[in-house]
Amino acid sequence: MSYRFSRLVGVASVAALVFAACSSGATASPPASTPAASTPPASTVPASTVPASTVAGSPAASCAASGSLSVVFIPKQINNSYFDAAATGGKKAACELGGSFDQQGPSTAASDAQVPFIQDATTKKVSAIAISADDPNAIAPALTAAMAAGIKVVGYDSSPAAGAYNVFVNQTDFGLIGQSMADWACDLAPSCTGEIAVLSATATATNQNAWIASMKTVLAGAKYAGLKLDGVVYGNDDPQASTTQAQALLQKYPNLKVIIAPTTVGILAAAQVVKQAGSSVKVTGLGFPNDMRSFVKDGTTPEFGLWSVPDLGYLAYWISAKLVSGDIKGTVGETFTVPSLNGGKPYTIAANNVVILGPPLTFNKDNIDTFNF
């Protein structure tokens, strides 16, 4: 089964079509610092200092927190435009709800680097923590301590370990991404045949590991029998490390046909490396249309995918607020609606307390110019 744009555009959020420049630093970034274990994280960015953003088709009014709701977003790393994009959605929701929005996190996606930020938010008694896990297990004790202190914990993008969050907001079903990655590789390898390799983020990332595991299951099917997965390498969502890993793949596997990079940092680095090398290797995976547009047009990356990242942050903030107010308890089977998302239809908290934002999008030369994010 192939998840193509033609099947998906009908459910894409307006934000995916109109959200502008989210990967170009158009939003306020928090200070880039990694605290020593005993040093509290850098100062916060209050919602009132955040410039207006465009999410779900309407500009956010400039706003200041008017109530006691305070939500801290802790991304895998702060110097990754993916999380700036998610933050625009969080800020938009904060505006709507009269809450405050702060984003705090490490500058590298290292496994336990988020722990001091969780501890700091706990000490400050924020209402909720929304977190994308660098390592699901390394952060679990700090998160369960936060929950024990009465703080609601919402995972988004990359899940903390089960039991260490109230709700996990998954951007899209893990299986759909694994299926899409296998299909894109099959489309781009000549006659769906030849060597392929994965350039991932960190080795401990819950989301990339789930997508790769699901892709491997799909690749075991008869349709993909001509594809040989040479291996998985890790660029740690660091542009330089990702570049080095992509260069090493080209050298190590002279018969490589496709690099699959399920990371916005990795796919951009891999496309740049392949283009510079004048290689015929194709690149696919998960990336921002604005980052990848030229590579779609020159044939380096004929197709790849993503979802509306601002909507992910928006949904994570709304769920945080609903947990804090008691509107939802965070139990399996509960349903709730969120303005401007899911066509007004309710979301359901599914097994493992997971809520799914929606299906992924596939971008190619026929539709890339209709997206601006």
Q: Which is nearer to ligand RAM, 237 or 303 (CB)?
A: 237
**Which residues lie closer than 8 Å to 124 by C-beta, 6 or more apart?**
none
**Which residues lie closer than 8 Å to 183 by C-beta, 6 or more apart?**
2, 3, 218
Quick count: other Cβ atoms within 10 Å of Cβ 51?
11
- Among 47, 76, 92, 353, interactor with ligand RAM by CB under 6 A: 76
**DSSP three-state, residue 162:** coil
Please answer whether residues 118 and 37 qualify as being in contact, where contact means their C-beta atoms are separated by less than 8 angstroms: no
Find the binding residues for ligand RAM in span 223-242 (CB under 6 A).
237
Question: Shortest gap between Cβ of 331 and ligand RAM (angstroms)?
Answer: 26
Q: Which residues pair with 129 in a beta bridge?
A: 72, 153
Question: Shortest gap between Cβ of 85 and ligand RAM (angstroms)?
Answer: 9
- Among 103, 122, 209, 264, interactor with ligand RAM by CB under 6 A: 264
Cα separation, 15 vs 295, in Å, equals 23
Please answer whether residues 158 and 174 qualify as being in contact, where contact means their C-beta atoms are separated by less than 8 angstroms: no
145 membership: H or E segment, kind and range: helix 140-148
Taking contact as CB under 6 A, which single stretch among the options 94-102, 221-229, 262-270, 290-298 is the one that binds ligand RAM? 262-270
Find the binding residues for ligand RAM in span 128-167 (CB under 6 A).
132, 157-158
Question: Shortest gap between Cβ of 358 and ligand RAM (angstroms)?
Answer: 14
Taking contact as CB under 6 A, which single stretch among the options 49-57, 260-268, 333-341, 365-373 is the one that binds ligand RAM? 260-268
Find the binding residues for ligand RAM in span 168-207 (CB under 6 A).
201, 205, 207
Give, in degrees to the nearest 5, the angle at Cα 269 between 266 and 273.
135
Taking contact as CB under 6 A, which single stretch among the options 51-59, 161-169, 261-269, 321-329 is the one that binds ligand RAM? 261-269
Question: Shortest gap between Cβ of 80 and ligand RAM (angstroms)?
Answer: 5
Please answer whether residues 64 and 91 qualify as being in contact, where contact means their C-beta atoms are separated by less than 8 angstroms: no
Taking contact as CB under 6 A, which single stretch among the options 24-32, 216-224, 263-271, 333-341 is the one that binds ligand RAM? 263-271
317, amino acid identity: Y
Residue 56, Cβ density class (10 Å: 0-12 exposed, 13-18 middle, ≥19 buried): buried
Interface map 80-99 toward ligand RAM (x if CB under 6 A): x-x-----------------
Instruction: Tell me the residue number closest to ligand RAM, measured at CB.
Output: 82
Enumerate binding residues for ligand RAM (CB under 6 A): 76, 80, 82, 132, 157-158, 201, 205, 207, 237, 263-265, 286
